[in-house]
Structure 1
Amino acid sequence: MKKFIVFFGILFFTLHLNAQNLSIFVASSASKAMSEVKDEFLKTHPEDKIELVFGASGKYYELLKQGREFDLFFGGY
């Protein structure tokens, strides 16, 4: 049941992400995993562009203050 709720929660919040260009901020600790996810996704969606920005949450905060926007945020734990 928990997985079901998580799935639909993610689906609900990402429905607007029907764009061909995504900018995603990823915590440094998840850089390898997210790079692999990106590569697999682009195999089936080669027309899409995904920009991954890696760093600490402090870097994310600084970029937001400078006016940078991201479509998704994957923070560390």
Structure 2
Amino acid sequence: MKKPLITADEIEPRIIQRADIAPTSGFSLVVDGHFKTHYDDADAARKAGAELLGRFPMLQVLIYDAATRTRSPLQ
């Protein structure tokens, strides 16, 4: 069975986020000192961080605010 050909117009570019460069906008989870998932609002980042911390309580999870360039622990 042959696979359908995908043209260059159909391929969406991947957004590559490097873990060693701080994001410039929005909020990100910082897990054990590494930037992970990016979120547009603080509530979504807190919810995801709380879920992650509930599943893996040994992790250190912080919320990074790109506007003020601060990291704050989950509360």
Same structural fold, with TM-score higher than 0.5 when normalized by the shorter chain: no
When Rg is computed on C-alpha atoms for both structures, the one with the higher figure is: 2
Scaled by the length of structure 2, the TM-score of the pair is 0.40
Bigger fraction of residues in helix:
1
Scaled by the length of structure 1, the TM-score of the pair is 0.39
